[in-house]
Amino acid sequence: MNLVVQSLNAENTHFLGVKLGKLLQGGDVICLMGDLGAGKTALAKGIGSALAIQEPMTSPTFTFQNEYAGVAHSQPIRLIHMDLYRLRYPEEVEIIGVEDAFQEDAICLIEWPEIAADILPKDCLEIRIEGSGEEPRNISFRSNTDDWERRLKEFEEVS
């Protein structure tokens, strides 16, 4: 399934993150793609807000990954937010332990996931944001599983 949604401004992107965040559960891996400044972190913050993350979410550009304690469907959940932009070699993906984040009690958001392509779960949700600056964004959601298809339909239906 490939769902494309337009976002007119940063608040709109944040809100799409909130809407998606409500549908997430432990074990989910979400790849956030798009150029520098596309809005990946803006969307991630919306997801964090739906998962009741209390602390301010900051971009993990230098730390590679930040972990937050949240709640999904009344259950405690870990939100792991990664940014692999600064990695240069696939070996580094193993060194920083990207795969360790794929756990049933964690929701994992990965900005710049391309370098980790070989180890990403086949059932991850791919989100690509196109557009930059103050122009509107096209945000596409792509998945190969029935489970994501069901959840994306629900996402589409919630106004």
* Interface residue list for ligand ATP (CB under 6 A): 7-10, 12-13, 34, 36-42, 59, 83, 85, 111, 134, 136-137
Instruction: Give the CB-nearest residue to ligand ATP.
Output: 39
Q: Torsion angle, CA of 98/154/144/127, rounded to 10 degrees?
A: -50
128 binds Mg ion (CB under 5 A): no
Binding segment for Mg ion among 72-80, 111-119, 131-139, 149-157 (CB under 5 A)? 111-119
Instruction: Give the CB-nearest residue to Mg ion.
Output: 41
41 binds Mg ion (CB under 5 A): yes
Burial 112-138 (b: 16+ CB within 10 A, else e): bbebbeeebeeebbbbbbbbeeeeebe
Which of ligand ATP, Mg ion, none binds 19 (CB below 5-8 Å, type-dependent)? none
Secondary element (H or E) of residue 19: helix 10-21
